[in-house]
Amino acid sequence: MAGRATPARSRPRPAARARFAVVASRFNEPIVKKLVDGALGAFVAGGVAAGMVDVHWVPGAFELPLAAQHLVRTRRYAGVACLGVVIKGETPHFDYVAGEAAAGIRQVALASGVPVTFGVITALSEAQAWARAGGAVGNRGAEAAEAALEMAHFVRAR
């Protein structure tokens, strides 16, 4: 039925030969490494063959859209998961970086037709970021990879 969530165990699995990419921000790297681990685990759990996920590192969250755009233009990837961490400080810098990263990632996905997912944690504190990188609140990297898998299947099926 339309509008109902599909349970994770019944989601279609991608072809084992589908290739995916992860673009990860080095800013707040210890936390982002947890996101990358979560994404890689989700790709494997989703049926992506070993060695079919490439990880690319960029300086910060602001650079994620450009890297994703470059990768989708290669036509090698069924989907790209963008991962990063932006923690609010005392200036409005947080708002600009987080907003532009989100808008840029969306723009790349819409312009290319390739699933490019948003796995960027936007947190008010480092503790909140850790909680979203495999702590009590889950792993946003795994969620971004799962979304890339599901959307890649959606795009291929249509």
b/e string for 87-117 if b means 16 or more Cβ within 10 A? beeeeeebeebbeebbebbeebbeebebbbb
State how far the Cα of 74 lies from the Cα of 76, in Å rounded to an integer: 5
State how far the Cα of 109 lies from the Cα of 129, in Å rounded to an integer: 25
**The one catalytic residue among 56, 70, 93, 153:** 93
Residue with tokens 């589908």, as numbered in its chain: 18
- Is 93 known to be catalytic? yes
H-only helix segments in 4-119: 29-45, 64-73, 93-112
Active site residues: 93
